[in-house]
Amino acid sequence: MPSVIFGVWPLAGITSGTVEPDTARQTIRAAIQSGIDTFDTAYSYGFDGQAEQYLGEILAEYRSDPQSPPLRVIGKVGQRWSADRKRYTDASPNQLTADAEESLRRLRLEKFDCLLLHAIDPKVDLKRSADAIEALRRRGLADSIGISNANREELQQFSSYVNCAAIQCPLNLLQRHSLDSIVPAAAGLGSAVYVYWTLMKGLLAGQISRDHQFDVGDSRPGYEIFQGEKRRRAHDVIDRLWRIAQQHDTTVAKLSIGWAVSQPGVTAALVGAKSPAQICETASATPLSQDLLNHLAGMNL
């Protein structure tokens, strides 16, 4: 498994500005050309599944070439969009099945390499949702299954019903709580850990200035980390990361991803991008040297 998995959520153009279809396709191609061979997607990535449709087109292109590398897809089901474009969770067995089948059609695939329950539905007993995901695996629609957006207790409960191959959880230099809970729990269960928000929605890419004004429709200002004192403190950290990156001839984005994938128990980082340039920069991120990790630890970021 590579250090970086391309998460195609930004290509849906919902929360961080629109993305032109041609740019989305070029970004996926650039990811593959940069050595990325695993993609993370979900039924809800796009009001009409746009991100999965773009990914499906490019995957089909590469499958037609016998010289192309094998490409893997991690999918998620359990979240949908309402008629007024609000996301909600529906992890009922029938809906999970229908959404998995629709995702595969969009992706032009026969099966997922790994299929995750996107979120726990409080209206549905977790065992019913877990059994439904397992039934999809038994049908041959997924090689393995797992869960996303679960806490330690929920992960352990899910794993008591099915073999949980993987979990997705948040982790970055500004938000480290998963290291004390989900990551060690997953290690005890033998589950892979894929971490998201590694760049904190672009903040830890080092490209968002203190006075940056987000476009209309960009949802990032709604997150606490982009507001008031928390944003000021985040930029203080990023200023220090810039200095470290310059000293080590790297970028803040690579430093941030490298830190995440260097943590014991972390399998890979899910990294999004909206352009070929963005994914080309982050695709080559690798675990950091112990000296660099010690440097970061000594700064009490």
The β-bridge relationship of strands 72-77 and 87-89 is: unpaired
Closest by CA to 115, choosing from 125, 101, 94, is: 101
**HEC profile for 76-108?**
EECEEECCCCCEEECCCHHHHHHHHHHHHHHHC
Cβ partners under 8 Å of residue 66, min gap 6: none
pLDDT score, position 51: 97
Residue 67 tokens, joined: 């010289």
Domains and CATH numbers, the chain: 4-298 (3.20.20.100)
> CA dist 238 to 138, 197, 210, Å?
46, 15, 10
Beta-strand runs (E) in 136-252: 145-148, 164-170, 192-196
- DSSP 8-state symbol, 214: P
pLDDT score, position 180: 96
Residue 77 tokens, joined: 């089901």
pLDDT score, position 207: 79
Low-confidence residues of the chain: pLDDT under 50:
none
Residue 76: what residue type?
K
pLDDT score, position 15: 76
Tens digit of each residue's pLDDT (9 = 90 or more) over 134-175: 999 999 999 999 999 999 999 999 999 999 999 999 999 999
Q: What distance in Å separates the CA atoms of residue 173 and residue 292, rounded to the nearest whole number?
A: 14
Angle, alpha carbons 57-79-96 (nearest 5°): 85
Coil, helix or strand for 122? coil
pLDDT score, position 1: 64
